[in-house]
Amino acid sequence: EKSGYDYFMLKEIQEQPSAVADTLRSHFQNGRITLDEQRLDPSTLREVDKVFVVACGTAYHAGLLAKQAIEHWTRIPVEVEMASEFRYRDPVLDRQTLVVAISQSGETADTLEAVRHAKDQKATVLAICNTNGAQIPRESDAVLYTHAGPEIGVASTKCFTAQVAAVLILGLALAEARGTKYPDEIAAEYAALQAMPDLIATTLQVGEQVRAVAREIASAKAILFLGRHVGYPVALEGALKLKELAYMHAEGFPAGELKHGPIALIEQDLPVVVVMPSPTGRPLLHQKMLSNIAEISARGARTIVIAEEGDELVAKHAAHLIEIPRTRTLLSPLLTTIPLQILAAEIAQLRGNDIDKPRNLAKSVTVE
């Protein structure tokens, strides 16, 4: 049921506050973080000394954010790899390795084979999945279900933000198991997370402004996305959404890489979407990004800047400024992603594409 929307995807974008709220609600009870279907000894999580995250596509971008959160909160080293690469190599795993498989459908062939590859080497496997009883959670030692509800649009939106919430929950669960954070610190982080659904709802109000930007750039040849730190996976996700939906050439880069090649692509009027770090939370990165914006603007790029509200320093550098509410850095991708989803959906519609069923794509990739 599209409930008055032209496409399921547009409805699913609006459902993100509840997708995240429902995912959070079911994993925090009586002051403790809970996992689903835990078929392993609680001491196993305490002894983990390395984490591998395996996933495909959008879920891989949630994995890149898992690395930031888990390493920051637990000091456990985390590697993130596309399942299609991991499954055909000889990664270094053992009994103390936790492999986290992220999959909305729970049926993606490469991710499932990555799980089997990990289990063959005695690693512990935890699945983050949106589909109850799918094959990947069935073969895993523990599960953390996202509760985004069914996603009909082929391009993932609310399942992505629910996956981001889930990796943050997992980071806190590992911090709790290993004692790297005090219970009151974990409760404070969780409370910050619980404020996110309202902030996502506020962020959704940028829709009209983003659609106006989309009308201006819909006929561009290509669009670039720049980010740093947690903004980098968001840039990759923004580029992937645009490729899938608008069939436009799009690339996401870490802004620090510009000078190592991508800056050669900058030309007059090329739209470049920049995901700004917080001026208060990450002042050094913020300053670096201002220089990056100056460099690309000087070469004629048309900058579309996603920044924290009240970021006056960036305001004068941005051709278009899209403001999002202030939050903690690790949680900010839950907000910065939203305008990029709306941008891709709107450009795709202006180009006459069916955004629920992009050409050549399938919702569940059960063959390689």
Q: What are the catalytic residues?
A: 363
We find the least distance from the C-beta atom of residue 361 to ligand F6R, in angstroms, to be 8
Of 297, 309, 298, residue with least CA distance to 272: 297
Q: Is 23 in the site for ligand F6R (CB under 6 A)?
A: no
We find the least distance from the C-beta atom of residue 111 to ligand F6R, in angstroms, to be 5
147-186 mask for ligand F6R (x: CB under 6 A)? --------xx------------------------------
CB 262 within 8 A of CB 232: no
| Max Cα-Cα span within the chain | 59
We find the least distance from the C-beta atom of residue 29 to ligand F6R, in angstroms, to be 26
Residues 6+ apart with CB under 8 A from 89: none
Interface with ligand F6R by CB under 6 A: which range of 36-44, 102-110, 251-259, 325-333?
A: 102-110
Of 278, 274, 280, 289, residue with least CA distance to 320: 274
336-365 mask for ligand F6R (x: CB under 6 A)? ----------------------------xx
Residues 6+ apart with CB under 8 A from 171: 66, 69, 70, 72, 73, 74
Q: Is 59 in the site for ligand F6R (CB under 6 A)?
A: yes
Interface with ligand F6R by CB under 6 A: which range of 3-11, 18-26, 55-63, 290-298?
A: 55-63
Q: Is 16 in the site for ligand F6R (CB under 6 A)?
A: no
We find the least distance from the C-beta atom of residue 151 to ligand F6R, in angstroms, to be 8
CB 217 within 8 A of CB 269: no
Residues 6+ apart with CB under 8 A from 294: 317
Q: Is 104 in the site for ligand F6R (CB under 6 A)?
A: yes
Of 57, 353, 38, residue with least CA distance to 233: 57
Residues found near ligand F6R in the complex (CB under 6 A): 56-59, 103-105, 108, 111, 155-156, 240, 244, 364-365
